[in-house]
Homo-oligomer: A and B are copies of this chain.
Amino acid sequence: MEKSVNKAVAFPKIVIIGGGFGGIELAKRLRDKEVEILMLDRHNYHTFQPLLYQVATGGLEADSIAFPLRKIFKNQKNFTFRVTEVEKIDQTAKTLHTTIGEISYDYLIIATGSETNYFGQKEIEHFSMPMKTIPEALNLRSMILQNLEEALIENDHLKKSSLLNFVVVGGGPTGVELSGALAELKNHILPKDYPELSIDAVKVYIIEGSPAVLGAMSEQASAKAKQFLQNLGVQVYTNMRVVIYDGMSIKLSDGQSINTKNVLWSAGVKGAVPEGLTSGQITRGNRIIVDEFNRVKNTNNIFAIGDVAAMITTDLPNGLPGVAPAAIQQGKKLASNLIRIINNEPPEAFRYFDKGSMATVGRNLAVVDIGKIRFQGIFAWFVWMFVHLMSLVGFRNKIVTFVNWVWSYFSYDRGTRLIIRRFNRQSMTEDPNAR
């Protein structure tokens, strides 16, 4: 195992865990450098997370927001890729324990991103649906469609409403985009596909703990997003927390309960930290403490970038936002810093350039903040689409996504509402025996 993964070369060996935005940018920037790069990921593809909600709601095929990692680096001579899970980092021995054996490194880059945070609420974790990976988005799609099918043949009023109430927990960009997409599914697809169901029987809720949805954006963007959601028919609850969810009924902090089998959890993320770091290296949100060179605390050859890294500065006491541009900028900077470090030159401090933020609620409805410039509505929506289309990896994916979006725009339709793998409610995952 060891032999075939660790080639005998003289160049420093850089191991990158994770093929997200940060990891890819870093490896690309090291293209012609005298280093040996090994990227590890548990998937053989890069996931474009910002569009997962469209996969979950049947607007896009999974394949158009994923891109084979090998293909990105197909002509890069100093790059090797392996599908594996990292079980543990051994900082002393400078090795990784993985599902394909032990792998040594000279420099280790942790670019593992974030995972769903249930804040220790085990029951909610079991019964609600996350949406951070493509299999999770596909499970969600199957669950939504199966519950609509089941509602058709359910005569018990309470059981029927539990199948038709959709509760999105968390009012960040993911929650807003998901609840908006569900409302559009209700408004445009349901009347055509399920004429037997009353459209009023379907309800979409969004539950946010803070006073506003999109709290990280401008007040203007928050207010407009709320209004857009309400116009689409979404019930927006702010200053509201989930107390408990037992798979049948979700209890909120004001005492009310919503009868539902569809709870979609987008209320928080935490760093996806591999085993082998010390508690002193971890901070709030399970993120890895790094200095201004992205170097992990108390190490000199381990770095972390992107969502999993917490670069706390006086300007940014909470670290950087968990968005693609922050990961990409860190990957870019770390590439040049690694070369400096290898050449015994001093590294340069990372500076974050805030490109602004945006979110889409639905057709013609988006909000954009770029510095002091704020705009909302149809133009913001076109900007949102353009930026996301351009950020997708691969020309084929751009074209296929563009075709789907143009198609949806003119037809008010979503093309891919298919239950490809049946969802099993007992195991809360797809049914492997479904044919």
Contact = CB atoms under 8 A, between A and B. Distances in A.
Interface of A: 1, 3-5, 42-45, 61-64, 66, 68, 70-71, 74-75, 80, 82-83, 100-101, 133-136, 138, 145-146, 149, 152-153, 155, 192-194, 196, 394-397, 399-400, 403-404, 407, 413, 415-421, 424, 427, 429-435
A293 B247 CA distance: 51
Given A136-B435, A400-B404, A153 B1 contact: yes
Contacts of A194: 70
Nearest to A73: B193
A407 B396 contact: yes
A206 to B, nearest CB: 25
Given A62-B61, A101-B153, A153-B100, A193 B420 contact: no
Contact of A149 (B83, B133, B397, B419): B83
A315 B156 CA distance: 55
Contacts of A75: 192
Given A62-B420, A432-B429, A82 B152 contact: yes
Nearest to A80: B196
A419 B193 contact: no
A35 B417 CA distance: 28
A399 B405 CA distance: 12
Given A133-B435, A149-B44, A400-B404, A63 B66 contact: no
Contacts of A394: 415
9 A-B pairs with least C-beta separation:
A61-B63, A63-B416, A70-B193, A61-B61, A74-B192, A396-B415, A432-B432, A45-B418, A429-B432
Nearest to A416: B63
B4 A71 contact: no
Contacts of A430: 421, 430, 432
A420 B134 contact: yes
A325 to B, nearest CB: 25
A135 B434 contact: yes
Nearest to A407: B396
A66 B421 contact: no
Contacts of A43: 418-419
B421 A155 contact: no
A100 B146 CA distance: 13
When all copies of this chain in the complex are counted, the total is 2
A301 to B, nearest CB: 24
A64 B404 CA distance: 11
A334 to B, nearest CB: 26
Contact of A155 (B4, B83, B149): B4
Given A83-B419, A101-B153, A419-B44, A193 B71 contact: yes
Max chain B Cβ within 10 angstroms of own Cβ: one of A5, A63, A70, A429: A63
A248 B393 CA distance: 38
A403 B400 contact: yes
Nearest to A145: B44
A138 B134 CA distance: 14
B396 A74 contact: no
A36 to B, nearest CB: 13
16 contacts: A44-B419, A61-B63, A61-B400, A63-B418, A63-B420, A70-B192, A71-B192, A71-B193, A74-B193, A101-B153, A135-B434, A394-B415, A395-B407, A396-B404, A399-B407, A400-B415
Nearest to A399: B403
Given A71-B193, A100-B153, A420-B66, A42 B396 contact: no
Contacts of A429: 432-433
A307 to B, nearest CB: 16
A61 B134 CA distance: 14
Contacts of A152: 4, 82
A374 B431 CA distance: 45
A347 to B, nearest CB: 32
